[in-house]
Amino acid sequence: MFHPGHGTWIVTIASASPAGTTAKLAGRYPRQLCVVRSRFRVAAVHAARAAAAALLTRSGHGRSKYGVTAVGVTARAAGQPVVLVDAVSAAAALRAALASQPAGLARIVPWLRPVSG
């Protein structure tokens, strides 16, 4: 759901079949539906989420080897799916572990970031 203005909500969906999705949902959301072509198949989103969730596995010290604290799926502003990987930092090992995912599908959200001087 996107909120472009006061009292206005737009349901935005990324679909592999925009015409079919629009046909099925337009009646429920008149003038409130935006269907865009998804850059990723559902299977790719599920696979990326599973790969990121596997990084939550705890090491012997009770922490994730990669510093991952949570994994979830949401949508970017343009309606495209994104797998959010919350982590302590965007360390090189974590970036390498996610490098096999399609470009733009997984996004590391670090809570520890360098400060500029």
Report residue 96's pLDDT band, with 50, 70 and 90 as the boundaries: very high
Taking only the tens place, the pLDDT of each residue in 48-93 is: 999 999 998 766 666 788 999 999 999 887 889 999 999 999 999 9
Cα separation values, 3 from 7, 9, 12, 45, 77, Å? 8, 5, 10, 25, 11
Give bridge partners of residue 63 from the DSSP assignment. none
Taking only the tens place, the pLDDT of each residue in 4-16 is: 677 777 788 899 9
Output the pLDDT for position 8. 75
Cα separation values, 84 from 7, 8, 15, 30, 103, Å? 28, 26, 19, 30, 13
DSSP the chain: -EEEETTEEEEEEEESSHHHHHHHHTTTSTT-EEEEE-SS-HHHHHHHHHHHHHTT-B-TTSSBTT-EEEEEEEE-TTS-EEEEEEES---HHHHHHHTTSPTTTEEEEESS-PPP-
